[in-house]
Amino acid sequence: MASDRVPAHLKPNLPPLSLYVPEPKFRPGDTVDFTQVAIPAAGETRRPDTADRADSFTDLAYQMVRVLDENGQAVGPWNPRLSPDMLRAMLRSMALVRAFDERMFRAQRQGKTSFYMKCTGEEAVAVAAAFALDYEDMCFPSYRQQGLLIARGWSMVDMMNQIYSNTADRLHGKQLPIMYSVKEAGFFSISGNLATQYPQAVGWAMASAAKGDTRIAATWCGEGSTAEGDFHSACTFASVYRAPVIFNVVNNQWAISSFSGFAGAESTTFAARAVGYGIAGLRVDGNDALAVYAATAWAAERARTNQGPTLIEHFTYRAEGHSTSDDPGQYRSAGEPTAWPLGDPIARLKDHLIAIGEWDEERHAAQDKDLAEQVKAAQKEAEANGVLGHGLHQPLDSLFDGVFEEMPWHLREQQAQMIAEETASGRPWARK
Amino acid sequence: MTDTPESTRMNMIQAINSAMDVMMDRDPDIVVMGEDVGYFGGVFRATAGLQSKYGKTRVFDTPITECGIIGVAVGMGAYGLRPVPEIQFADYIYPALDQLVSEAARLRYRSAGEFTAPITVRSPFGGGIFGGQTHSQSPEGIFTHVSGIKTVIPSTPYDAKGLLIAAIEDNDPTIFFEPKRIYNGPFDGHWDRPTQNWSQHPAGDVPTGYYKIELGKAKVVRPGEALTILAYGTMVHVALSVIAEAGVDAEVIDLRTLVPLDIETIEASVQKTGRCMIVHEATRTSGFGAELSALVQERCFYHLEAPIERVTGFDTPYPHSLEWAYFPGPVRIGEALKKIMKDA
């Protein structure tokens, strides 16, 4: 409202301001048409030398590294030329992640745990990166990179034990399902708070560099989380100290119900965030396992040779809900997942292997069946250790363990209070 | 008191500097980082000389992002380093809250001990220096409310060094608030009188080598019978000066560590004296004094002969020109003293 204190003849004749609030293209019931999404042809984007200066290839932040073409062929300068065995191993890992997700999602629906998050449609992002990194490299994931653990060969039973918060849960029931922590597999404790892992990955990478180590760090967040201050603090630190770290932004288009426009996607790409920080930026077809592999390997080489950080935007699509707690049908068109122009990452890698004569539909179907059996067997083994809500899986007094290295008096006192309450109430908790 | 025979006069800054120096010499995994801490040696000179002695990869300046400083420290801790980040003023610590509260303080618990955050966050706090509202705050109550973090506040050069060494060696994250009003000398609360410096104070005699003061142990700085005064940081000296002027035989306890708290020393004292006054510079509502008051009431109720008195700063932003009207100085403490001793 214009101030009444200003005399009328001094008031400028300006149009009223208007506030722009982004709105996704499609809502429930809308027909989906993704033709406006610019998808460069596979093989088209150039591949700079890993020793090139970041400011000499800023154009890559606005293009898209793609290797697999429409005919299932691997083309162009980013083709990592992986062996058929490696390709099959990647395909198997991705399919295993999907089978694991299916089974655990259902376990949540069956009331065996409180929460689950699938990564359906995004399997290539974590799995191909895990194949491109060294096993010793440290990963600071968000909550949708279960593919890192699966690809690194970590035990599914162990992951399920955590999901069930059961007697064998390596985290002793202390953390929300799927917020894994596996130091042995170079997998940092997942936080539910967004992008906090970004500066932590930079710190780890700086420490590695300061110690003259050879290991590098990699971290992941969603496109929505790039709005967090932690993301920008991390980019500044990584740029300043040329930290050997790979920033992965998984642009899966949706942050729960908020489309990527609420993180700034209508104005530029997420890879372009790198440009302002003067760090290397790549935009990659996140549903193309070979592109993800090639970009990660390229970024890793830069990091290992003290060329500093790389930010990789993985352009992908979250084919299902954010978690077991939301129904995407309430906020986006049901037609989006099938209309997504970059297809399905597993189908695309499978088609490639078939196209080069190293795979066939029968083997694929047999593998799917075998993987489903493996997941089922793992589930059976994990459930023998209990499922959430059915019995006491951790000693009651362990509630107080690990707040500090040594328990101070006030926690000991509260612990004694809790045990006294339990005794007095006659609750059916069986103390162990 | 110490395993090192050699000692020298130090102010609190020099003692803090000496603690980092001694520890960096002993442990190559200790790194010091923060805004202006490197070449320049810190705005209060606490890190002076450390970069030239230990090199730029162990003592370095950082971008101005407190969130980034603590987040990076958490990552370095996960790698195996032992970071000692400085937050230039406690008033600037808020952008780092998520990394402190949700990450550093919770990492051990949420990873069942796989990862820890052995970080000591140093930060000058408190007012009395005409720093206005952005260079004077005492936010310790925010951190004592957080499970998984320790809060330490020294009141002398000797304690500052011993406590800082203990904090650095501790495997849990510790907030180490340095009362900047008494960096150069103890403060009696009379802003209009000449300042003292540590060279005349016995606790300004500081061993040059390694020693530590266990966290969670308070110190009875003046034994007495009439009442118990619980204080920390600058307010220890203000309280001592007020009771000396009033001629009251108070027992003054310097808490030194707020979490974990030395409840035994507090209990023993209040049960002996029957009166308890709590003094802190931070704002009153939900301040650490509220916690102390509740604990004393719960544990010493039948020994109390008068209501517990809380003497604190007011629930306002820290003012600039009216700084001494905010500060819980001799007048406010003196009035509380009269009240609590009324029926003695």
What's the pLDDT tens digit per position in A309-322?
Answer: 999 999 999 999 99
Which positions in chain A touch B72 (Cβ < 8 Å)? 199-200, 202-203, 206, 237
How far apart (Å, rounded) are the C-alpha atoms in residues A207 and B210? Answer: 26
Choose among B72, B109, B150: nearest Cβ to A237: B72
Confidence of residue B344 (pLDDT cuts 50, 70, 90): confident
Most B CBs within 10 Å, among A137, A162, A170, A189, to test the B interface:
A189
Q: Is A256 helix (H, G, I), strand (E, B) or coil?
A: coil
**Buried b / exposed e along A394-413 (16+ C-beta atoms within 10 A):** bebeebbbbbbeebbeebee
Question: Which pLDDT score is estimated for A2?
Answer: 52
Question: Which pLDDT score is estimated for A167?
Answer: 97
- B32 membership: H or E segment, kind and range: strand B30-34
DSSP-based helix, strand, coil % in chain B, nearest 5: 40, 20, 40
Note the residue count of chain B.
Answer: 344
Tokens of A238: 């990584």
Choose among A189, A210, A217: nearest Cβ to B110: A189
Most B CBs within 10 Å, among A136, A233, A394, to test the B interface:
A233
Q: How many CA atoms lie within 13 A of A257 on its CB side?
A: 10
Could you report the per-residue pLDDT of A274-290, keeping only the tens digit for each? 999 999 999 999 999 99
Q: Are strands B120-125 and B150-152 parallel, antiparallel or unpaired?
A: unpaired
Tokens of B309: 């008195």
Residues B313-327: what's their mean pLDDT? 97
Choose among B74, B110, B259: nearest Cβ to A174: B110
Nearest to B159 by CA among B192, B129, B119, B202: B202
- Please give the C-alpha separations between residue B106 and each of A14, A144, A241, A336, B110, in angstroms, as whole numbers: 53, 21, 27, 38, 6
CB within 8 Å: B76 and A207: yes
**B250 phi, psi to nearest 5 deg:** -90, 150
**A304 phi, psi to nearest 5 deg:** -70, -20
- Please give the C-alpha separations between residue B148 and each of A197, B83, B130, B214, B284, in angstroms, as whole numbers: 19, 17, 33, 18, 24
How far apart (Å, rounded) are the C-alpha atoms in residues A282 and A312? Answer: 5
**Count of other CB atoms within 10 angstroms of residue A208:** 25
Q: Is A271 helix (H, G, I), strand (E, B) or coil?
A: coil
Residues in Cβ contact with A352 at an 8 Å cutoff, skipping those fewer than 6 apart: A68, A72, A73, A74, A87, A290
Residues B252-264: what's their mean pLDDT? 98
Residues A218, A221, A225, A226, Cα dihedral to 10°? 50
Could you report the per-residue pLDDT of B115-173, keeping only the tens digit for each? 999 999 999 999 999 999 999 999 999 999 999 999 999 999 999 999 999 999 999 99
Q: Is B330 helix (H, G, I), strand (E, B) or coil?
A: helix
CB within 8 Å: A179 and B110: yes
Say whether pLDDT at A348 is over 80. yes
Largest CA distance in chain A: 83
Question: Which pLDDT score is estimated for A431?
Answer: 47
- A53 exposure class (CB count in 10 Å sphere: 0-12, 13-18, 19+): exposed
The DSSP line for A134-152 is: -TTSEEE--TT-HHHHHHT
Say whether pLDDT at B4 is over 70. no
pTM, two decimals, is 0.96
How far apart (Å, rounded) are the C-alpha atoms in residues A235 and B157? Answer: 38
The residue type at A279: I
Q: Are B144 and B288 in contact (CB under 8 A)?
A: yes
- Please give the C-alpha separations between residue A416 and each of A409, A422, A423, B295, in angstroms, as whole numbers: 10, 10, 11, 17
- Please give the C-alpha separations between residue A402 and each of A20, A153, A162, A196, A411, in angstroms, as whole numbers: 47, 28, 17, 21, 11
